[in-house]
Chains A and B, each alone.
Chain A
Amino acid sequence: EADIYQTPRYLVIGTGKKITLECSQTMGHDKMYWYQQDPGMELHLIHYSYGVNSTEKGDLSSESTVSRIRTEHFPLTLESARPSHTSQYLCASSERGGSGSMDPQETQYFGPGTRLLVL
């Protein structure tokens, strides 16, 4: 089981502000992910990283950016927040569970989430 932390848990901010959502994990997992969850419950992958200096865009286009300078840290930044960014943001991490490059035995463990409200 992973220990994965997200701060802040709740954020209310005005339009145009720059914000950074923090995500840290203490398990040394190589892989980290950001999901956006809309009020209708559906989860959308917006960014992922397979290791330090590796970042990829996910399935849902997002105006946010991410960085991975340290293994344990995967922050997400919005340069100019807008009401359309209001959502819950969930961070996750995983490590390869089995041997062999074709083994998808990777369980993603999630942080508690950040609920963002942009006014």
Chain B
Amino acid sequence: AQKVTQAQTEISVVEKEDVTLDCVYETRDTTYYLFWYKQPPSGELVFLIRRNSFDEQNEISGRYSWNFQKSTSSFNFTITASQVVDSAVYFCALSEAAPNSGGSNYKLTFGKGTLLTVNP
């Protein structure tokens, strides 16, 4: 069974600090995708990034960066110079083939989320 572990349940930082959110996954699939979503207090899940299993290049988008390490099955997310607006729950997710779909349909397995609080 596929599994996503976000060991940090809650993190609290002071504004402008850098913070890294950890994500470790387990899968038997050779082709898979990893995702990060942000859920602000308003409740909606906002898609941040998708990364496929064949692309281990790190990605940077503004203050956000992602470190994908296949050797350790990790896909960590770093926010540089955190801001109060970054306060949210962050979810890591792994795509997996849906049962009885013959590999033609996929669904997400989510981690339990990390609550990030950025204090002024």
Q: A: which residues have CB within 8 A of B?
A: 1, 31, 33, 40-43, 45, 48, 50, 56, 58, 88, 90, 92, 101-113, 115
Contacts and interface: CB of A to CB of B under 8 A. Distances in A.
A33 B101 CA distance: 15
Contact of B52 (A43, A105, A108, A110): A105
Given A41-B112, A43-B91, A113 B44 contact: yes
Contacts of B89: 41
Nearest to B30: A102
Interface residues of B, number: 32
Interface in B1-46: 29, 31-33, 35, 37, 42-46
B102 to A, nearest CB: 8
Nearest to B9: A41
B99 to A, nearest CB: 9
4 A-B pairs with the lowest CB-CB distances in the bound complex, closest first: A110-B45, A104-B106, A104-B95, A41-B113
Contacts of B50: 105, 107
19 contacts: A41-B112, A41-B115, A42-B110, A43-B91, A48-B107, A50-B101, A50-B105, A56-B98, A58-B107, A92-B45, A101-B103, A101-B104, A102-B104, A104-B32, A106-B95, A110-B46, A111-B44, A112-B44, A115-B43
A38 B37 CA distance: 17
B18 to A, nearest CB: 23
B42 A112 contact: yes
Interface in B65-115: 89, 91, 95-98, 101-108, 110, 112-113, 115
Contacts of B31: 102-104
Contacts of B42: 112
